[in-house]
Structure 1
């Protein structure tokens, strides 16, 4: 029986290349037992994948990667096993969509000052209805010949270092954590890697974060060990996944390779079941 899960997958509903249905098919092919589609600030991929997951007997848990503000920087928080059949989280995410549009306009303005000619409509067209983000701008810069690849676009123009301070319209990380919990879900720090100082990780923990994504392609063994020990010390959930953005015909992909054991999914489900029961009692 398959015993692995990939809890970090992106689809065409945000900045990935797979359709939600293809993500489920890939999971079946790679013998995964469970996946979470975690598109940026939208649950659309989860809803679109449910029928295919049921057909192929792949467990699909609700997931989304929510963008928040931690001081002047972006902080990405993963939400799992929230109540997906109410509009509580969806109404929150609709505001996130507007925040993403405002933010990308600021990024485009900054890039244009660096001598690049690109406008919002081009990037919006590239997103094709998905939640817009920097990867879509990177693809436009590649198509227009300013760079040789999206990766080069991030190095030359789109990294946090190159962009400097861009006005952030996202909610504070504390608000996101509270919102996810109120929806009966678990909130997890995504790919902390070298992104956060020890003091910043302490802020997440003090705010009531439920877990940390310990297993991620950007984490070497020392980082995995560091964050696993942090989870054990603070009794936090440990999650992980491929963070795949690849399409169906990609060469090497972390999808199906960077995984976590099913016991971690069961831990998320136990915690969120208890949380939903408490929330129902309060209401």
Structure 2
């Protein structure tokens, strides 16, 4: 593997595996993290905790610390807001019930999108999407991958732009929960709630109200943040006394071209701070 120069060489706290819409298994991802010299990775699959156990096993094998996480998609007046939750109690019933509901909604949405694509004359079947869905959380990237594999489009991005992205002919809205609901869910399950990549959608106006319900951190360093975004959200984090986290949002090259594991991240000190916060919740 060629050497990769890391901007923040200690921890990448936003990574997706095949438990949701990433291409690598947890074992493969942790192995790659070890090869890159990362001390820690955050496993933050969409609406599922199913990758945690194997990631922890891989972490012990490869000497990489695993920060257990999840990513929740929420809606704020029609704008997507992603909330990262770290170190929750996986046996908290409120968490299990809500994640199960969200995963079921994901499957229903995917099947409705497939029906719309079929109505457009695209020969795509449920079984084709199910075959490439390795985990328990399915999403539009799986449909996009099938469209690429079938030669309908040339890239994941083209699939979203032409067919399944917001406003496209086969788009179907997802089940919506608010950022407040996502934050409260994470906090009630004993976790630490962090606002993911706010620079993508320009979310600075919502931060004050989310802090009031329990937001504890902002993802300052991210693969889609500009230097101006980093500066802006670093200042906001300081203003409200929030943790400043960082991560690549790694999914694999075919899913997110150019987004390399460990290309964005933070210091190991942030991992310890997150754990300390979660521990104080549990106590």
The answer to whether residue 95 in structure 2 is matched with residue 99 in structure 1 is no
What secondary structure does 2:199 align onto?
coil
In structure 1, what is the Cα distance between the partners aligned to 2:99 and 2:235?
32
The answer to whether residue 177 in structure 2 is matched with residue 171 in structure 1 is yes
Aligned equivalent of 1:48, options 31, 54, 57: 54
The answer to whether residue 222 in structure 2 is matched with residue 254 in structure 1 is no
The answer to whether residue 274 in structure 2 is matched with residue 268 in structure 1 is yes
Change (3 A) 1:4 1:23: same
Deviates more, 1:92-101 or 1:7-16: 92-101
In structure 2, what is the Cα distance between the partners aligned to 1:253 and 1:173?
26
1:202-281 matches, cutoff 5 A: 202-246=208-252, 253-277=259-283
Note the aligned Cα RMSD (angstroms). Answer: 2.6
Deviates more, 1:97-106 or 1:157-166: 157-166
Q: Is the 8 A contact 1:8 1:36 kept in 2?
A: yes
What secondary structure does 1:275 align onto?
helix
Alpha-carbon displacement from aligned partner over 1:47-82 (angstroms, at most 9, x marks no partner): 111112112221112111122232334432110111
Aligned equivalent of 2:16, options 10, 24, 27: 10
The answer to whether residue 82 in structure 2 is matched with residue 76 in structure 1 is yes
Q: Is the 8 A contact 2:85 2:191 kept in 1?
A: yes
Q: Is the 8 A contact 2:44 2:69 kept in 1?
A: yes
Counterpart residue number, 1:145: 151
Residue 262 of structure 1 deviates from its aligned partner by 1.4
What secondary structure does 2:28 align onto?
helix
Change (3 A) 1:163 1:202: farther
Counterpart residue number, 1:123: 129
Unmatched 5+ stretches in structure 1? 278-283
Alpha-carbon displacement from aligned partner over 1:6-39 (angstroms, at most 9, x marks no partner): 1011111111111101111111111111111111
What secondary structure does 1:83 align onto?
coil
The alignment's TM-score, normalised by the length of structure 1, stands at 0.87
Q: Is the 8 A contact 2:217 2:244 kept in 1?
A: yes
What secondary structure does 1:44 align onto?
coil
Q: How many residues get paired?
A: 275
